[in-house]
Amino acid sequence: MTSATTELERALKIFSRFFDLIHQPITIINKEGKFIYYNHESAEIDNYGNQNALGKRVLEVYNHLKEENSTMLDALKNGAEYIGNYQIYYNFKGKAVDYQHTTIPLYSSQGEIEGVIEIGRDLSDVRRLQQQVVELNQLLYSDQQQHCHDIVTNSKVMVSLINKAKKLAQNNAPVVIVGETGTGKELFAKLVHKSSKRADKPFIALNCGALPVPLIERSLFGSVKGAFTGAENSKGYLEIANGGTLFLDEMNSMPIEMQNKLLRFLQDKTFWKLGGSQEQHSDVRIIAAMNEPPAQLIKEKRLRVDLFYRLCVGILALPPLSARSDDIEPLTLHFIEKHQGIAAYRIHGISESALSVLKSKTWPGNVRMLENVIVRSMALQEHDGTLDSIASDEEVFEIKSLPILQVQPVMPEVQAQGGSLIEQVENLERKLIIQALNQAHGRVSQAARVLNLSRTTLHSKIKKYQIQMGVVA
């Protein structure tokens, strides 16, 4: 047994339990291309027993895969790294799997590749659900009785924005809506649509932050059968929304390569389906929402300046709830009426003391956060009458603002030199903790639940790895 093999096995012995608790597909191969770690989540995706996979080569487990298409073998032989890579492959039973993964080589303390680790996420259900959303939108958009929720407000600023939105609705120009998460950007997008001449045409919404690039592209443009592994003939949102409005939520999360394709569509209203041989045309009005300042996005090169100027013919900047305290009472009364079914008792209105508590908060999650607190408070009340007690907990009320971790990006490049294999695996653990903290917006208790660790253990690891958790104002 070589020292390098001992090094790899020692590292696996130390971290295998941690990997077991992450509940994400994780596989590790040695320098012979044989699996030495293959967890339950991987086995479920691949329809291959995890114990049966151990000791087998990659192409034995993925028998529909060719060597040149294997990211793990490429990483093993050539030191290639795949960060957030998306691919579709066939598992052992011949089922197509949508997979997003990070695959990196593992180096010994001598700088030699001694194995490969891959951490992934099965997006097959996401793809199926996204396709169902496309199909349901196609069925539902023609319902002329469909109404959007009214914007509940007593704020002069909001009333002015509503009037502005109605004026912008009278032309066909694109609109950009900027505001923090939970301020009602989609409600304003629906208001523009319903106030326009397109009101009897489809309103289709796509969350750009919820899908990887290939699924965004497929959702927007549609596909033809055979365009890629598992592809079928499908309509995209641009085709379904023809004559109506396409709302691109969280457009600041749209990757640059997709922004390029969107810009081309905006220039001449034409697009190509994935794998298609005919140019398609669609008369769609684009409304884009962003939860970060456009100037900041442009400066950081996360938003194409030419795309922004093409979109922002009309712009609506929504204020946070903290800047319009007059809206807290009408919104609260609206949510109490809306969620009567959640409470065991009949609740009418809110007491002055409870309302005072609500008005004293900063509401980093804005209207959406307020609604969640009202629902929780109603569920906990134990008598009929006014809502007289506001549910309070650490996650809701001790956070003064949503933190953004000042840490390096998830899964940055791994250096081939420097540090033993154990040190590199510890580095991977640090990155997984950072990933969980980023997903939890810096909330340690929530990140601990994601990682299936106690808060004490996670705090200890944060201290061990010197993870800095600064907050950006």
For residue 248, which of 268, 272, 220, 222 has the smallest C-alpha distance?
220
Which residue blocks in 62-184 are alpha helix, DSSP H?
71-78, 124-140, 156-168
Question: What is the pLDDT, as a whole number, of residue 308?
Answer: 93
How far from chain centre, in Å, is Cα 130? 13
How far from chain centre, in Å, is Cα 87? 18
Question: Which domains, from first to last, does the chain contain?
Answer: 3-122+407-464 (3.30.450.20), 125-317 (3.40.50.300), 323-397 (1.10.8.60)
CA 1/CA 61 separation, integer angstroms? 25
CB 34 within 8 A of CB 126: no
User: Which residues are paired to 27 by β-bridges?
Assistant: 38, 118
Question: What is the pLDDT, as a whole number, of residue 402?
Answer: 40
Predicted structure pTM score: 0.62
Question: What is the pLDDT, as a whole number, of residue 397?
Answer: 43
- 133-142 long-range contacts, CB within 8 A, separation 24+: 134/219, 134/234, 134/235, 134/236, 134/237, 134/240, 137/202, 137/204, 137/237, 137/240, 138/235, 138/240, 141/201, 141/202, 141/203, 141/204, 141/240, 141/241, 141/244, 142/202
In order along the chain (473 residues), what is the average pLDDT of each group of 10 residues?
Answer: 66 87 90 92 87 91 87 93 85 83 90 92 72 59 49 92 94 94 93 93 85 79 75 82 93 88 91 85 95 92 92 93 93 91 84 92 91 91 89 52 40 48 75 81 76 75 75 28
CA 55/CA 352 separation, integer angstroms? 68
